[in-house]
Amino acid sequence: MKNDLMLTLARYLAGDFSNQKQSYEDPKTYAHIRVFFRPLPWEFFGGIGFYSEQTYDYDLWSPYRQGVHRLVDRGDSIYVENYSLEDPLCYAGAGRDLAILKTITPDCLQRRYNCSMIFRKENEIFRGNVEGNCCLIERNGRQTYLVSEVELTENTFVSWDRGMDVNTHEQVWGSAAGALRFEKRESFADEVPVVISSDS
């Protein structure tokens, strides 16, 4: 049953997402952004993992955020470890091109400690939050901690990231208008490796 929860989250997450509708309705507030979560082969982590990239729709080859994620089953929740890439632009486009994806290896990763996400399922929605308030990011000369909230369904991905000043707790960066709302354009669920339980 636990593996079923992790596999469902992975299948929901696997895809090409766009906030085109949100951007069209309010272009002054929201740029048109694409988010890709591409499953990695089982052998990469010995489990379920993803490569992700976020990019403006008008410049798909210049992502502004890239990462690798490992899913860990914790019973009633799924713990998602976050990793940064050395020379990330070398892998730009890997969310869309499997040939580029195959060039990513575990030895080019660096774990982002205190920046993991914890997901729990409520009915048909997975809700995720970054662990604690120690995921530190320097921005505009100020030290901030990341506050990240995610809602994920089979066909939608809602994300709101903000950087809060470590001393004053005021928002320094991120959307002041609210969450980015994405809809799945294409599913990569068939690329998610099947979890094989040792007691099955």
Distance CA(105)–CA(108), nearest Å, equals: 6
CATH numbers and ranges of domains, the chain: 2-188 (2.40.128.590)
pLDDT at residue 175, rounded to an integer: 85
Q: How many CB atoms lie within 10 A of CB 7?
A: 19
Amino acid at 142: R
Q: Output the CA–CA distances (angstroms, integers) from residue 176 to 17, 30, 68, in the order listed.
A: 21, 11, 27
**pLDDT tens figures, 45-94:** 999 999 999 999 999 999 999 999 999 999 899 999 999 999 999 999 99
Distance CA(44)–CA(102), nearest Å, equals: 10
Beta carbons of 115 and 146 less than 8 angstroms apart: yes
**pLDDT tens figures, 151-191:** 999 999 999 999 999 999 999 998 888 999 999 999 999 99
Distance CA(5)–CA(146), nearest Å, equals: 26
pTM: 0.92
pLDDT at residue 3, rounded to an integer: 63
pLDDT at residue 196, rounded to an integer: 56
Structure tokens at 8: 């469902």
Structure tokens at 127: 């809700």
